[in-house]
Amino acid sequence: MFTETKINKPQEVARPIVDDLELLLTALPRHLQESVERAGNRLALLEIVLDLGRLPEGRYQNGEVILSQQEVSQADLNLVIANLGSFGNDNRAGIERTLHRISVIRNRAGKPVGLTLRVGRAIYGTIDIIRDLVESGQSILLLGKPGVGKTTMLRETARVLADELRKRVVIVDTSNEIGGDGDVPHPAIGRARRMQVAHTEEQHNVMIEAVENHMPEVIVIDEIGTQLEAEAARTINERGVQLIGTAHGQTLENLMLNPTLSDLVGGIQSVTLGDEEARRRGTQKSILERKAPPTFDVLVEIQAPDRVLVHSNVTTAVDAILIGGSYSTEIRQRDLNGQVTRETITNAPVNPAVSNYGNNGGNFEGNAFGLDWWDEQKPTQSHSTRNPRKARRVAIA
């Protein structure tokens, strides 16, 4: 079942793009600069890959191109690294006041043997498809596979909140992907303030520092990836600050199966029901339930740059998945004319006794949300009120 409505897009269809590609190309050896120029189609260029002893590649939205028949030498790698400067402890570097990201691959001795030069672009107007959610003041989590545009949308969200909605926005920028490299941030973030993170393992501390020291109304965070960062995000949310962030994962169910990050959507715990309550619910006595309110109110799965799937009520969706009930999601698409189409879909109930999220496009099969699975993910003494010996023999029914 679905309903369909259309929203007229107030902005122009053409979206301005700023990529500062020339500054990235100047870091390359001359023959590779010329190869990229000859290849053309610059707006479709995603990254340049240089691996020692292999042919250099240009990766585009529609495929790969060999840039030269001359293999990459150690001298080529050294030249690029010398033009870029130092790399951080995350093996990433950037170019000042640009959004490009350069990552290095090292051998066991620490010697560089490969480089990935990823083109960073500021694309204005990308959040039109979720602008109503951003303006609502709710905390929003963006999911999607690498390269689909999570950081681009996050950056534009920060600019719109700071410049157009006049909110106090602080960006926690671990790898300088949102605000660019250097002390002066890229103009693409507008008036938003940016806090850099010296070491990736300190991101959670910088998140808390941002709230305590700078009185933000909105915190923007890229790549929430550890339990400490998930806990810091919850602390920020509990202080009444709007959160806009991204996390590793592609779907809500995928995030629920991640014991490190499941707290972002409320977490999962096993509980034992009394006989009367089990009969009332029509389930067995040992079940899985959401542990706490979700840190993020809304979850957006970015399926393509112009197509997203929106869970407008994370609480309802998580509870429905755990008990096998139905819940609604919304698919939003932007066509070539710039018009956004919204389609509301009611997901059919899933029997949790046979439900299992697999790598098959988000379908369920098997027994992933059963207690046997949960025992393998979490220590029984941490978040459980049940008998651990008995629970291993019980699945949700």
Last residue of a domain, one of 120, 149, 167: 120
The verdict on 98 and 155 lying in the same domain is no
- For residue 2, being part of any structural domain is answered with no
The verdict on 256 and 378 lying in the same domain is yes
Q: Please give the single-letter amino acid code of residue 395.
A: A
Neighbouring C-alpha atoms within 13 Å toward the C-beta of 157: 34
Query: Tokens in use for 25?
Result: 């190309």
Which domain covers residue 257, as residue numbers? 123-391
Measured CA to CA, the distance from residue 319 to residue 288 in angstroms comes to 10
- Helices marked H in the chain — which ranges? 21-25, 30-39, 74-84, 131-135, 150-159, 203-214, 227-238, 252-256, 275-281, 314-323, 371-377, 388-391
The verdict on 82 and 213 lying in the same domain is no
Nearest to 291 by CA among 374, 388, 397: 374
Q: What is the DSSP letter of 241?
A: -
Domains: count for the chain:
2
Measured CA to CA, the distance from residue 75 to residue 212 in angstroms comes to 47
Provide φ and ψ at 387, rounded to 5°. -80, 110
Tell me: the pLDDT tens digits for 309-329? 999 999 999 999 988 888 999
As separate numbers, helices (DSSP H) first and strands (DSSP E) second, the chain gives: 12, 20
Measured CA to CA, the distance from residue 265 to residue 284 in angstroms comes to 24
Last residue of a domain, one of 81, 101, 120: 120
Last residue of a domain, one of 79, 94, 120: 120
Biggest alpha carbon–alpha carbon distance for the chain: 76
The verdict on 228 and 373 lying in the same domain is yes
**3-class secondary structure, 17:** strand
The verdict on 103 and 135 lying in the same domain is no
- For residue 148, being part of any structural domain is answered with yes
Provide φ and ψ at 10, rounded to 5°. -75, -30
The verdict on 106 and 199 lying in the same domain is no
Are the C-beta atoms of residues 225 and 233 closer than 8 Å to each other?
A: no
Tell me: the pLDDT tens digits for 317-364? 999 998 888 899 999 999 888 889 999 998 876 555 334 433 333 333
- For residue 6, being part of any structural domain is answered with no
The verdict on 353 and 212 lying in the same domain is yes
Cα separation values, 169 from 172, 176, 221, 233, Å = 10, 16, 11, 15
- For residue 380, being part of any structural domain is answered with yes
- For residue 7, being part of any structural domain is answered with no
Ranges of the chain whose pLDDT falls below 70: 1-15, 349-397
- Please report, for the domain that includes residue 163, its CATH number: 3.40.50.300
- What is the residue whose two structure tokens read 């100047």? 26
Beta bridge partner(s), residue 345: 2, 329
- For residue 276, being part of any structural domain is answered with yes
- What is the residue whose two structure tokens read 């509870």? 319
